[in-house]
Amino acid sequence: SGVGKTTLVQHLAATGLFTMGLEEHFERPFQQRWARDPMRYGLANQVDYLLFRAEQERALRAAPQAALQDGGLDLDFYGFTKLFHARDLLSQDEFVLCQRLHGTLRAMLGPVDLIIRLTAPLAVIQQRYRQRNRAVEITASDDLRHLDLLIDDWLQDANQTPVLTIDGTAGDLHAAPNIAALSRTIQRLLDQSA
């Protein structure tokens, strides 16, 4: 969504304390097709992402280190799948299928240990979104406010999981001392939830 999830995860993983799982936009088989014909490939793209993120989470949970994802199964469902349904790019039946798939995958995996919410004002997110200049974007700049509201709704209901909110506009967020302090905070929260 342009808030800086991937960059933050990469900086945290560079400390050596975490392993990471990234979205892999270019490797997803339906992503470019979806960009060309969302009505035809919307369902396939969402099912692929939900399965990919669940498989990724399962592999990361088996790793010896704590793991971070730049999004994940729940964000892909509660944010993007719901957004695409609201935009009529997924029919009601397709949305229900994705909802069933997400529910089954989350039940099999169990809840995540921690959600890190990176926030920024909409104008900042829109600027970052434009600057990242990806070859394929499946959301538009106009979607960012709606996506943020969907994430707010999800996190209000995510009462099983602690949420760490980070101001993504802090100019020195990625400075080594701040990343080290954030890493310690994350480790402490993970230890508390274990």
Mean pLDDT, 10 residues at a time, the chain of 194 residues:
83 95 86 89 96 98 95 96 96 98 98 92 75 61 85 88 88 87 95 84
Which amino acid would we find at residue 121? Answer: P
The whole-model pTM stands at: 0.90
CA distance 94 to 162: 30
Q: What is the CATH number of the domain that holds 65?
A: 3.40.50.300
pLDDT for position 139: 66
41 and 25 Cβ atoms separated by less than 8 Å: no
Q: What is the pLDDT of residue 125?
A: 75
- 184: domain range? 5-193
Number of domains present in the structure of the chain: 1
pLDDT for res 144: 82
